[in-house]
Structure 1
C-alpha cells in the first residue's frame, strides 16, 4: 500500500451520524460496514446509547478510529472534521453535501474544510461523496445498495450514482474491484492522489475512472506518466461537448477545460481514454488479465464468414493489422481445414466445424510468429460445444502466452462458456468490434510502457525583453498585442522577417529602403486584429509607394473604427509564400492543464479546414516532431507532389521555443503565430497576435 493505507486498510472506523432510522444515509453506511468489514465499527451519535447493538460515543474524538465517515449536516461537518484531526484520525470521508457544489455559501464552507484538513494533515475524501470501498478488508463505507466483488481493478468516479450503477452491472457480470472511491468535490484528495496510490499498490492491476474534470492537469500528467509505465489507466472523461461541459460544471462545481486539452493531456499522461462505459470495461478487462502483444498483427479464427468480415473491418479502423501467415502456417491450415475453408486471414473453419477442427485452427494461429494476438470468433451450431471451445481456448492461450479475445456470439448458451473464459481472464465480447477494441487497448498500453519521456529543451532566450514588451500592454482595455509582439518571438529565437513598426510616412519610407525588394505593410492596432478584412494589409509595396500606402492604411483603419488605437504601421520584408507551407503555431491557456499548444495548416484556412493537433506545454523535441506528423497536411511539409521538403526541423524548434515562452510567462493567455511559413530554406513567423492577463503580468 501507499500513503493512503489508512483509508483503505483501517482497523477501526467511526461513523459520525450513525443511526437506525429507516431510509437514512447513516443507517445505510452502518449496515454496509457491519455486513463484511473485518475491523471494528464505532457509531458516533450523542443522542443514542447504541446503534445496531453497538455502544455509541458522543464525539468522534472518543472513537479511537483510523477513519471517520462523516454523515452530519453541512453546518457542523467542518467542526466534526476538526475534532477528528485533533484526535489524530488520518482518514476522513465526508459524505455530506452542501459544499462547493451549492454556491457561494457552500464554497466558503468547503474552503474551511480544506483549511482544517491541511492543518491536521488529514487524507480527506469528498465532501459530497458516496463513500469508499476496499474489498480486501471487506470495507463498504458507502450508502450504495451494492457491495463490490473482489478483484484487481481500482475504480474512482466523480459521480456517486455512476458507481452504484456500475457495481450493480459488474456484480451480474462477475467483475470485481480492489478499491472503489467516490471522489465527490475533491476538496483535498483528487484523481492524482488515487492514481499515485494505486500505482504503488501491488494488488491493483488496472486503474479505471469516470471524471468530469481534472483539478491540476500538469500534476496529473506528471503522476500518470510514472504510473502508466507499469499500471494501465483507463478513463471516461465526460463533458466533451460544450453542453456536456456545462452540465458537468453544474453537477460538481467543476470548471471543465476544453476537450482538446483533455485529449492531449490524457494522451501525454499515458492514459487510455474510453468514450463510453462499454469501452471502459472492454479495455479494463483485457488489460487486467491478458499479456501484452509483441506485435499489432491479429489473426481471426471463425466459423462464420459474415462476423469474420466485421472483425476485419474493425481491425482496419484501429491501429491493429490483419496478420500475414507464414508458409508453414498456411500449410498447417491446409491440412486442418476442409477445401471450402479459408486458410488466409480471417481463417474460416466453416460452419460445420466441430470442436477438434476449431481447436486445431486456433492452435495453428497462435503458434505463428507473425501473430501478435488472436480473436476466437464463433456462432452457435449444432456440432459445436461452446463450453468445450471455451476450455480449449483457455488451454491454448496458456500454452502460447499470447493475448486472446473471445467473441462467442449468442444468448443463453454462451453464458457457461463465458464464465469459463472469464475465470481464466479471457474476456468474451458479443460484438467483434468490441473484441478488436480490447486488443487495441493492449497494443496501446504496450506502446505506453515503452515510451521514453524526454525533458524539454531549454533555449538561451532574452526574458527581460519579453517582460518589457508585455508591460507595454498596461492600461489597454483588451490586453492584446498584434504585430508589435514580433519582438517577443525575436527574444525567444523564433525567426521573423526584417522590419519595424513606424508612426510616420517618412519613417516608413526610410525602413523600406533598408529592406531588399518590395515590402509588406500592415496597420498596427490592438483594436483591429483581422487586418486583411478591412484592407489593413498591403503586399508588394515598392519604395516609391510606401508613404502613400502608409496614409491609405491609417485612413482605412480610421474609417473602419474611428475610436481604434493606431500604434502605427509595420513595414516588413516580404516572405515568399509560394515556395513554402503556411502553418500555424499557437497557444491557448486551459484552466486545468495550462498552456495548450496548437499546430496545423495555417494562413486563411486555419478556421475553415481545422487541420490541427494539440499538446500540453512544455513539450519535448519528440513531442513537437510528432505534432508535425499528425496533421492531414503533413505530406506538404515533407515534399508531397514533387515539392521540395520544408524545413521541418525549423518548425519543430519553433514549437519548442514557443512552448518555452508560454511556460515561462503565465501572463500570456493566447498566442497565435499565423502564418509560420516553412520553406526549404527555413521558417519565418510572418504575423503574431496575443492576449495578456493583466493580473498575472
Structure 2
C-alpha cells in the first residue's frame, strides 16, 4: 500500500510533544535491565528507583523472570501496557530490531545508551540513519546512541542515566554531547550545590540534537539557565534562530569544543585569511545572545551567578574587601574584561566612613582591612548597593582569625535579599560550614576573584544583549538582476577565471549603493595621458589585472601622482612588475583613479563559511588590516545595530571619531555600507570572496568611497 505523502514527515507538534514525554513518562521500559553488579542495565534501573520515579518500570530481559525484584518481560511486546519511554542498553547488534519493535508499539521515545555506531564506522552511520527512518514513521524521538541517558530533576522525577552520583534538583538545564563528561558534570555540580531541571546526554545525535533541546528547555517553566557542551552543530542556521529566540527568555551558556583547526584553510583574500575556524561560530553566537566560555569550570562559574542573581543594569562595579592583594587581582580582572569601577557618590562615602576603621580605604575598592567584621561588611555592602552609580558588587572576604566567616556570609545573604542588584562573593580559603550552607544562599561563592569577574562579565554582556531592540531585517536595496547576469556570464565563459574584472566589480558594487572615485582603465600611454587630463591630479595608479591578487604587496599601487612625468614613471613601474610576474599581455591594464587625501581607510569583505554561510568583515583598512588583525565579523543578515557594534569593536574606532584634530567620519553612512554589503552577499551566493580595501570613510555628509575592490565567484 502506498503511504500518504505526509506520513513520511514528522509533524512538528508531535515532535515537540513526544520529546517532552520522554522526560515525564508514565511508563519506562529498560531494555537490557540486569541485576548484575557493575552493569549499565542495573545502574539505570537503580537510578530510576532511587530518584523517585512515580510511574511504572518494566525491565526487559530475555533470560530473567525478575530484575531487582521487579517482574521482567522477554520483549517489549510482551508488556501489557503502552510504553512512553524505552531505555536501550543491549549490545549494538540487537538495537535495530528493538527500534523496529518500539516503532510497532508506537513508543513515544527511546534513549539508546548502547555505543558502537557512528563513532566507529561507516556502517554505524548507516545504522543510525535506519534508526531515524524507522522512528520518523511513528513520530518516535531518539536520544543517542552512545549516550549516558536523561534525567528530570522536578516532578515527575526521572533519572534514566547510569551516573553513580545522584544529582540535586534545581533550575539548570544541561545539554552534553559527551557522555563521559556528563558523568563528571553531575558530580561537579553536586559539589557546588547546583541542581538540574533537566539533563540530557545527546551522544551521536541520530535524531534529537542540541537545537532541539535548547528549544525544549527554552519552553520549560522549570528551567532558568541553559548550559551546553557541544562538539558540532547539525544545522547552524536553525541553531541560530532557536538560540536567538530562547536567549530573549533565558541565558544559554555554551562550551563549544574544537577551537583550533587541524589544518588552516587556504584563502587568497584578506577577508578569507582573517576568518579563522572560530570566526563564523563567534559571529553566530554574538548574534544569538549565546554566552560562550572556555571550560566546564567557567560554565559552572557563570551558572552559579545566573541561577541566583538578577542581571546587572550596567558595567559599574563596586569591590568591597578586607585584603589588598585579592582586591587588586579583582580590579585587574575587571578592567581586562571590559567592566569598570563605579564612582561612589559623596553620600555613600559619608554614610560608611563613621562606621569603619580609620585606616579603611573608601575609594573603590572599599578596603575594610583585616579587622572588618560582619557589621562593617553590612554597612559597606548596604551603602554601595543603595548607590545609584553601582550596578553590581564583588565582595571579597579573606578569613582572619578574629572574624567569624559564617557570620559574614549571613550578613551578605541579608544584604543580597534586600536589594535587587547582583552580589558575587569571593570567600577565600575553605570553610566547610559555609560551603555546606551554600545551596541555601541567594548569592554565588567563588574561591578566587577572577572566577567571579568572569561570571559578572558574562552577566553584563548578556544583560546588554537582552536590552538591545529586536530589529526587523529590511532590504534597503532590491536584488540586482544585472549582478546575476554578470556572474552567470563569467561562469559560462570558456576561459573561466574566478576573479571578476575591475569593470564588473565596479558595476556590481554600484548596484548595491557603493560610490567610486572618478576613474578609468587604460592599456597604453596615450589613453593614460587622456584619462589624466579628464580626472585631474592628484591621481592613483593601480594594477588592474586578474593575475595578481595583492597589488600593494607587489608594489603595484602608486598614490598622489601629480604630474605627467610622475604619471609615466608610475605606469612604467607597473609594467615592469607585470614583466617580473609574467602577466599575460591581454591582462596588463592599469587603473587611473582620483586620489583622496583625507578620510580614514577602512576595509569591508565577504567570506563564506561551509556551515554558517556568508560572513561580513569590517576592519582597519590598507595594509594595517593584517598587521593589526583589527577586524570584526558578523553573519548575514546584518542589522544596523549589528553593523554599529562591529565597527565599535575595532581598535581603530577612535580614529573614526576624529583624532588629533581630524574631522569625524560619517558613521551612519559607514554602517549603511556594511548593510549594503550584507545584502549583496545574501542575494548572490555564488560570490565566495569579496574585498573592499580600502574603503575611504569620509566626513559627515559624504558617502564612503571604494578605492579598491575585487570579487571572487565559484564556478557554476
Question: Aligned match of 1:17 in 32, 41, 45?
Answer: 32
Asked if the contact 2:499/2:710 (under 8 Å) is kept, the reply is yes
SS in 2 for 1:194: helix
Counterpart Cα distance in 2 of 1:209 and 1:197:
13
Quickly say closer, same or farther: Cα 1:436–1:546, change in 2 above 3 A. closer
Asked if the contact 1:674/1:686 (under 8 Å) is kept, the reply is yes
Structure 1 residues 217-226 or 479-488, which shifts more? Answer: 479-488
SS in 2 for 1:579: coil
Question: Aligned match of 1:28 in 34, 43, 53?
Answer: 43
Question: Aligned match of 1:569 in 548, 567, 589?
Answer: 589
Is structure 2 residue 410 aligned with structure 1 residue 391?
yes
Counterpart Cα distance in 1 of 2:327 and 2:693:
48
Number of equivalent positions: 682
Structure 1 residues 490-499 or 187-196, which shifts more? Answer: 490-499
How far is the alpha carbon of 1:183 from its aligned partner? 1.8
Give the aligned partner of residue 279 of structure 2.
260
Counterpart Cα distance in 2 of 1:565 and 1:54:
87
Give the aligned partner of residue 491 of structure 1.
511
Quickly say closer, same or farther: Cα 1:468–1:49, change in 2 above 3 A. farther
Counterpart Cα distance in 1 of 2:556 and 2:382:
71
Counterpart Cα distance in 1 of 2:466 and 2:209:
24
Question: Aligned match of 2:465 in 445, 448, 466?
Answer: 448
Quickly say closer, same or farther: Cα 1:38–1:322, change in 2 above 3 A. same
Is structure 2 residue 61 aligned with structure 1 residue 40?
no
Counterpart Cα distance in 2 of 1:607 and 1:519:
26
Give the aligned partner of residue 635 of structure 1.
654
SS in 2 for 1:152: strand
Counterpart Cα distance in 2 of 1:320 and 1:549:
51
Is structure 2 residue 232 aligned with structure 1 residue 213?
yes
How far is the alpha carbon of 1:502 from its aligned partner? 6.5
TM-score by length of 2: 0.87
Counterpart Cα distance in 1 of 2:108 and 2:93:
22
Structure 1 residues 605-614 or 552-561, which shifts more? Answer: 552-561
Give the aligned partner of residue 415 of structure 1.
432
Counterpart Cα distance in 1 of 2:688 and 2:94:
40
How far is the alpha carbon of 1:358 from its aligned partner? 3.1
Counterpart Cα distance in 1 of 2:370 and 2:574:
78
Q: What does the per-residue CA deviation read over 1:370-426, in whole Å, with 9 as the maximum and x for residues that have no partner?
A: 333333322222321111221222122222233222122112xx2212333431221
Q: What does the per-residue CA deviation read over 1:49-77, in whole Å, with 9 as the maximum and x for residues that have no partner?
A: 44444444444455521122233444553
User: Matches of residues 72-87 of structure 1 in structure 2 within 5 Å?
Assistant: 72-87=90-105
Q: What does the per-residue CA deviation read over 1:636-692, in whole Å, with 9 as the maximum and x for residues that have no partner?
A: 222111112223222211110111111122222222111112222321222223333
SS in 2 for 1:640: coil
How far is the alpha carbon of 1:152 from its aligned partner? 0.6
How far is the alpha carbon of 1:271 from its aligned partner? 1.4
How far is the alpha carbon of 1:361 from its aligned partner? 2.9
Asked if the contact 1:133/1:179 (under 8 Å) is kept, the reply is yes
Counterpart Cα distance in 2 of 1:547 and 1:299:
65
Asked if the contact 2:385/2:393 (under 8 Å) is kept, the reply is yes
Is structure 2 residue 160 aligned with structure 1 residue 107?
no
Structure 1 residues 38-47 or 531-540, which shifts more? Answer: 531-540
Give the aligned partner of residue 467 of structure 1.
484
How far is the alpha carbon of 1:169 from its aligned partner? 1.8
Counterpart Cα distance in 2 of 1:606 and 1:101:
41
Counterpart Cα distance in 2 of 1:441 and 1:556:
52
Give the aligned partner of residue 4 of structure 2.
none
Asked if the contact 1:12/1:41 (under 8 Å) is kept, the reply is yes
Counterpart Cα distance in 2 of 1:638 and 1:369:
30
How far is the alpha carbon of 1:47 from its aligned partner? 5.0
Counterpart Cα distance in 2 of 1:633 and 1:298:
27
Quickly say closer, same or farther: Cα 1:30–1:481, change in 2 above 3 A. farther
Give the aligned partner of residue 250 of structure 1.
none
For structure 2, list consecutive stretches of 5 or more residues without a partner in the other structure: 1-12, 266-274
Structure 1 residues 540-549 or 485-494, which shifts more? Answer: 540-549
Structure 1 residues 456-465 or 661-670, which shifts more? Answer: 456-465
How far is the alpha carbon of 1:263 from its aligned partner? 1.9
Give the aligned partner of residue 368 of structure 2.
349
Quickly say closer, same or farther: Cα 1:220–1:543, change in 2 above 3 A. farther
SS in 1 for 2:691: strand
Quickly say closer, same or farther: Cα 1:338–1:462, change in 2 above 3 A. closer
Give the aligned partner of residue 8 of structure 1.
23
Give the aligned partner of residue 252 of structure 1.
none
Quickly say closer, same or farther: Cα 1:245–1:675, change in 2 above 3 A. closer
Counterpart Cα distance in 2 of 1:477 and 1:422:
67
Structure 1 residues 363-372 or 333-342, which shifts more? Answer: 363-372
Structure 1 residues 599-608 or 186-195, which shifts more? Answer: 186-195
Asked if the contact 1:311/1:436 (under 8 Å) is kept, the reply is yes
Asked if the contact 1:394/1:421 (under 8 Å) is kept, the reply is no
How far is the alpha carbon of 1:367 from its aligned partner? 3.1
Is structure 2 residue 186 aligned with structure 1 residue 167?
yes
How far is the alpha carbon of 1:304 from its aligned partner? 2.0
Quickly say closer, same or farther: Cα 1:676–1:13, change in 2 above 3 A. same
Give the aligned partner of residue 251 of structure 1.
none
SS in 2 for 1:452: coil
Counterpart Cα distance in 2 of 1:512 and 1:82:
78
Asked if the contact 1:521/1:571 (under 8 Å) is kept, the reply is yes
Counterpart Cα distance in 2 of 1:114 and 1:317:
47
Is structure 2 residue 159 aligned with structure 1 residue 140?
yes
Counterpart Cα distance in 2 of 1:510 and 1:82:
80
Q: What does the per-residue CA deviation read over 1:110-152, in whole Å, with 9 as the maximum and x for residues that have no partner?
A: 3333333434333222232222111223322223332321111
For structure 1, list consecutive stretches of 5 or more residues without a partner in the other structure: 247-255
SS in 1 for 2:445: coil
How far is the alpha carbon of 1:631 from its aligned partner? 0.5
Counterpart Cα distance in 1 of 2:694 and 2:653:
16
How far is the alpha carbon of 1:432 from its aligned partner? 1.8
Quickly say closer, same or farther: Cα 1:654–1:356, change in 2 above 3 A. closer
Counterpart Cα distance in 2 of 1:367 and 1:544:
73
RMSD: 3.2
Give the aligned partner of residue 606 of structure 2.
587
Counterpart Cα distance in 2 of 1:327 and 1:547:
70
Counterpart Cα distance in 1 of 2:603 and 2:58:
62
TM-score by length of 1: 0.89
Counterpart Cα distance in 2 of 1:94 and 1:482:
56
How far is the alpha carbon of 1:18 from its aligned partner? 3.3
Asked if the contact 1:215/1:592 (under 8 Å) is kept, the reply is no
Is structure 2 residue 158 aligned with structure 1 residue 131?
no
How far is the alpha carbon of 1:458 from its aligned partner? 0.6
Question: Aligned match of 2:665 in 646, 650, 657?
Answer: 646
Counterpart Cα distance in 1 of 2:463 and 2:250:
11
Asked if the contact 2:28/2:83 (under 8 Å) is kept, the reply is yes
Q: What does the per-residue CA deviation read over 1:509-532, in whole Å, with 9 as the maximum and x for residues that have no partner?
A: 776665455765554544431234
Quickly say closer, same or farther: Cα 1:343–1:553, change in 2 above 3 A. closer
Give the aligned partner of residue 686 of structure 2.
667
Counterpart Cα distance in 1 of 2:556 and 2:346:
68
Is structure 2 residue 237 aligned with structure 1 residue 228?
no
User: Matches of residues 355-394 of structure 1 in structure 2 within 5 Å?
Assistant: 355-394=374-413
Asked if the contact 1:519/1:542 (under 8 Å) is kept, the reply is no
Counterpart Cα distance in 2 of 1:417 and 1:624:
47
